[in-house]
């Protein structure tokens, strides 16, 4: 296998046989490594935490990541499927809602069990360094899962010890401020216990944790703000940790944005933390990346899957890219220098020589995204779509891909720094904030930004930089903490309807014209305080009625 952490994933898979059941709030998971004879060497302990990088996140990564992060966030849409998320009508029965909730609590439960087992069973053959790091890995994953839980569902129960639940029937939800207090304090401690360089390729480092601290503090500044403003002390903390990671981690932006998603991109210089998926044959399940199966627009470029034909960029997302201008008839027209568009979405006539396309008659060619339709078509998703098995060294089969999922990139730290400096001001001309913002902006092929930076500028940059990485929804939740009306306005102004994209020539177009489909009516959503938070899945409420009780402050164990 191509990287060390994946060797441990393969070892540990033998012991992790199935996903946690829905009764995670009642009893500890029983499907993890529990054999006391297993935790006797460094390699065994590393194997025990390896699955925290993959399998426990599977149900979230599979379809929920983009359904919640991008469909609800408005950067992409599905015309005929997943409409509850696209139309901002996610319910307690929406499949991706339940899958995400389940996955995050699987992460929590398995992390708790790993901590308990390592503390209980780790023998003399386990080095102090590995024991400390492995526990920190589990705490990191648990904290990240709680970040997703609190930002999606609000008040949720914080569980640090699943075993204690056996004797505790009064577990209830905890308040949002107390959860964020727990998360920032927890991640500070985690950073102290992780090495500055990865013990194995793909493993967490101090900079993974400090990068998350910067993200956490930027969000907490809104949670603990007042009068619509953000807490300055937490803005300063976000700036401090972002700057430390930028200057000390050794991470660097890749020269070309598109390289971030060209095989083999795993564990590159820009990645601070990625889910570590592994292709180990067509029969494995749970440790591979299944998401590309649902994103690839056609079986012609996939491996027996390719079910993303009705998915693509929203009209609103395309309007974010500089160079597309609104015309008097309401259409958009132009081209953009922003290289992120081609690397994220496919426009008619765009070429992707790294992807092989099957053509009628059994032939093959390098992909040129086709021009089809008469009054609607889709700007198909490119990001994370790497092609057929022959395009990735044979490391792919239907719903089984080996490339990783970014969870934290250095580019985000540059933008966090800029936003933390901006803080509660309408704009900033801070030289370092502009320098860091332009690291991301100019890497995309755009001229340096010289105007005072505003929050709108930074949000626009984030939407383009991280589109189809499951980020937009959480950026809007973070905004909602301190400026809910602005979050509603952004969402309610989005056009999420069908449109037709026409190139001026095919192939190798020089510009495109975008025209809205006149007969399609479901173009806009209504976002407000009543639907901004996801409902707890119905299946969970039926099994854990305490989730209906008022939330209480969380006091860390």
- Give the list of residues 6+ apart from residue 458 with CB closer than 8 angstroms, or none: 415, 418, 419, 422, 437
Distance CA 542, CA 392 (A): 44
Q: What pLDDT was estimated at residue 168?
A: 56
Give CA–CA dist 380/77, Å, rounded: 10
Place of tokens 């065994």: 44
Q: Are 319 and 499 in contact (CB under 8 A)?
A: no
> For residues 413 and 246, is the Cβ–Cβ distance under 8 A?
yes
Residue spans of the chain under pLDDT 70: 1-36, 164-170
Q: Please give the pLDDT value at position 172.
A: 86
| Tens-place pLDDT, residues 258-271 | 999 999 999 999 99
Please state the domain extents for the chain. 4-281+534-548, 292-401
Six token digits for residue 470: 């499951």
Q: Supply the pTM of this predicted model.
A: 0.94
Task: Give the pLDDT score at 433.
Answer: 98
State the alpha helices, DSSP H only, in 399-499.
Answer: 410-422, 431-443, 455-466, 472-482, 484-492
498 close to 77: Cβ distance less than 8 angstroms = no
Q: Which ranges of 61-205 does DSSP label H, i.e. alpha helix?
A: 65-66, 83-86, 95-121, 128-153, 176-193
Architecture of domain 4-281+534-548 in CATH? Answer: Alpha Horseshoe (1.25)
- pLDDT value of residue 4: 45
- pLDDT value at residue 36: 67
Residues 494, 88: Cα–Cα separation, whole Å: 12
């Amino acid at each position: 296998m191509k990287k060390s952490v994946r060797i441990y994933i393969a070892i540990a898979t033998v012991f992790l046989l199935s996903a946690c059941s829905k009764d995670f709030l009642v009893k500890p998971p029983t499907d993890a490594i529990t054999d006391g004879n297993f935790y006797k060497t460094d390699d065994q302990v590393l194997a025990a935490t390896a699955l925290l990088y993959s399998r426990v996140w599977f149900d979230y990564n599979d379809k929920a990541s983009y359904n919640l992060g991008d469909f609800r966030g408005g950067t992409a849409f599905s015309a005929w499927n997943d409409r509850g998320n696209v139309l901002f009508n996610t319910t307690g029965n929406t499949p991706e809602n339940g899958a995400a909730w389940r996955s995050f609590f699987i992460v929590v439960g398995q992390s708790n069990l790993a901590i308990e087992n390592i503390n209980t069973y780790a023998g003399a053959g386990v080095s102090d360094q590995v024991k400390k790091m492995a526990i920190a890995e589990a705490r990191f994953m648990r904290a990240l899962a709680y970040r997703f839980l609190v930002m999606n569902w609000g008040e949720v129960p914080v569980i640090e010890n699943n075993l204690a639940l056996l004797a505790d029937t009064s577990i209830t939800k905890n308040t949002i401020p107390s959860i964020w207090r727990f998360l920032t304090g927890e991640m500070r401690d985690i950073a102290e216990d992780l090495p500055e360089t990865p013990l194995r390729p793909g493993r967490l480092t101090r900079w993974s944790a400090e990068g998350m601290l910067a993200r956490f503090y930027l969000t907490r500044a809104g949670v603990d703000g007042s009068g619509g403003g953000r807490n300055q002390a937490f803005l300063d903390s976000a700036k401090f940790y972002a700057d430390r990671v930028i200057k000390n981690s050794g991470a660097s932006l890749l020269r070309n944005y598109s390289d971030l998603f060209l095989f083999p991109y795993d564990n590159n210089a820009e990645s601070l933390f990625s889910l570590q998926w592994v292709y180990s044959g067509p029969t494995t399940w749970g440790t591979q990346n299944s998401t590309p199966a649902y994103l690839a627009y056609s079986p012609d470029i996939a491996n027996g899957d390719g079910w993303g034909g009705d998915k693509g960029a929203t009209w609103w997302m395309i309007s974010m890219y500089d160079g597309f201008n609104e015309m008097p008839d309401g259409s958009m027209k132009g081209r953009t220098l922003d290289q992120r568009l081609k690397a994220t979405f496919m426009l008619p006539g765009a070429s992707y020589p790294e992807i092989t396309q099957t053509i009628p008659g059994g032939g093959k060619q390098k992909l040129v995204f086709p021009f089809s339709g008469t009054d609607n078509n889709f700007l198909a998703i490119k990001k994370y779509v790497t092609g057929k098995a022959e395009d990735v060294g044979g490391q792919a089969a239907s719903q089984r891909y080996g490339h990783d999922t970014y969870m934290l990139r250095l580019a985000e730290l540059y933008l966090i720094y800029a936003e933390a400096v901006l803080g509660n001001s309408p704009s900033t001309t801070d030289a370092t904030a502009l320098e860091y913002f332009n690291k991301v902006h100019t890497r995309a092929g755009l001229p340096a930004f010289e105007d005072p930076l505003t929050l709108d500028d930074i949000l626009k940059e984030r939407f383009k930089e991280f589109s189809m990485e499951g980020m937009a929804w959480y950026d809007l939740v973070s905004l909602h903490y301190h400026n809910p009306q602005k979050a509603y306005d952004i969402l309610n102004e989005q056009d999420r309807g069908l449109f037709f994209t026409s190139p001026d020539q095919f192939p190798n177009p020089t510009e495109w014209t975008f025209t809205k489909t006149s007969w399609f009516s479901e173009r806009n959503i209504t976002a407000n305080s009543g639907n901004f938070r996801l409902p707890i899945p119905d299946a969970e409420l039926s099994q854990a009625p305490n989730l209906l009780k008022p939330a209480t402050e969380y006091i860390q164990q």
